[in-house]
Amino acid sequence: MVDDAQVRATFLGTSTVYLNDGVSGVLIDGFLSRPSLLRVAFGRVAPDPKRVTHALSKAGIRRLDALLVAHSHYDHAMDAPEIVRRLGGVMYGSSSTLNIGRGAGLGEASMAIIGDGDVVTAGAFTVRVFEGEHSPGNRFPGTIEQPLVPPAKVGDYRDGGCYSFHVTHPSGSLLIHPSANFVPGKFDDLDVDALYLGVGALGAQSEQFQDEYWRHVVDATQPSLIVPVHWDNFFRSLDRALRPLPSFMDKFDRTREWLDRQSAATGIPVRFQQPFEIISPLA
Ligand SMILES: [Zn+2]
């Protein structure tokens, strides 16, 4: 049973996570179109209105107060303006993300720039922004200086700065950390109940990197629950079962072993959330 006063979290692949407490709704990223690898590699990408509609309705997301974009790569930011246009609320992101909003025709009143240390409130939710580093191997660094009109090349979606989101609510707190990298000391004074931990391409990193990642993100925040995010093959539609990233992009088996090992050593449960499954991460 899901208690009505509790924060409910729905995972929708990549680092797309919907939080709601029955009154207010907060969405991270909102990447639902998930174009195929062929299109990403050789063509141009644009929001897929049918897939966006289908995923929102399947997830039961009918209204929104805030949509926070972690960075402006297409697999985080591309669909955000489309979602805000349909559901309302404000899209928060870097200046690059706002240029994605402008290119999609989103009005200035529906978007706002955020940066390190900024605080956004949405009903009983308070979200603090932490700027960090993109995971190693950032293929499209830099900023988006002009309104970006889709369809566009994936490489036009430059990262524009990477954010993590510390969400507090009267029932507890969680950190959503989409990109598998760290800034030493950044989370040292932060204790959370749940951690949505980005593990994308972590399996391709050295053991030393993985262990430092755990130290600076997990040890620093002392969560009671870890939900891994950004591990799935986002070239597949959300209509199909999630699968790990293909092996030329990541070594997911290594990530899984690492998570199992760390979980056993620390006693912190690691729970892979299924897409569209609703959990109460603060309960
Ligand atoms: Zn990225």
Q: How far is the CA of 181 from the centre of ligand 1 (A)?
A: 11
Say if residue 241's pLDDT is above 70.
yes
Q: Count CA atoms within 13 Å of residue 65 on its CB side.
A: 16
pLDDT tens readout for residues 117-135: 999 999 999 999 999 999 9
Q: How far is the CA of 75 from the centre of ligand 1 (A)?
A: 7
* Strand order across the 8-11 sheet: 111-113, 90-93, 66-68, 25-28, 17-20, 8-11, 278-279
Q: How far is the CA of 23 from the centre of ligand 1 (A)?
A: 31
Which of helix, strand or coil describes residue 198?
Answer: strand
Q: How far is the CA of 171 from the centre of ligand 1 (A)?
A: 31
| Percentage above 90 pLDDT, the chain | 95
In angstroms, the CA 249 to CA 141 distance is: 18
Structure tokens belonging to residue 149: 């009109």
Q: How far is the CA of 245 from the centre of ligand 1 (A)?
A: 14
What pLDDT is recorded for position 114?
Answer: 98
| Percentage above 70 pLDDT, the chain | 98
Q: What are phi and psi of 259, to 5 degrees?
A: -60, -45
Say if residue 1's pLDDT is above 50.
no
Q: How far is the CA of 144 from the centre of ligand 1 (A)?
A: 14
What pLDDT is recorded for position 164?
Answer: 98
Sign for the CA dihedral angle at 249, 253, 257, 262 comes to positive
What pLDDT is recorded for position 3?
Answer: 52
Does 3.60.21.10 match the CATH number of domain 8-279?
no
What pLDDT is recorded for position 144?
Answer: 98
pLDDT tens readout for residues 135-181: 999 999 999 999 999 999 999 999 999 999 999 999 999 999 999 99
Q: What are phi and psi of 178, to 5 degrees?
A: -70, -35
Parallel, antiparallel, or unpaired for β 172-177 and 162-169? Answer: antiparallel
Least confident piece of the model among 7-21, 88-102, 103-117, 236-250 = 236-250
In angstroms, the CA 45 to CA 273 distance is: 27
Q: How far is the CA of 134 from the centre of ligand 1 (A)?
A: 6
Q: How far is the CA of 139 from the centre of ligand 1 (A)?
A: 8
| Of residues 142, 202, 195, 187, the one with CA closest to residue 167 | 195
DSSP-derived letter for residue 242 is: P
Contacts of 279 (CB under 8 A, 6+ apart): 8, 9, 227, 271, 273
What pLDDT is recorded for position 4?
Answer: 54
Instruction: Name the helix (H) or strand (E) containing 169.
Output: strand 162-169
Q: How far is the CA of 71 from the centre of ligand 1 (A)?
A: 7
| Orientation of helix 80-87 relative to helix 49-59, angle to 10° | 60
pLDDT tens readout for residues 186-196: 999 899 999 99
User: Residues 174, 281: contact at Cβ < 8 Å?
Assistant: yes
What pLDDT is recorded for position 34?
Answer: 98
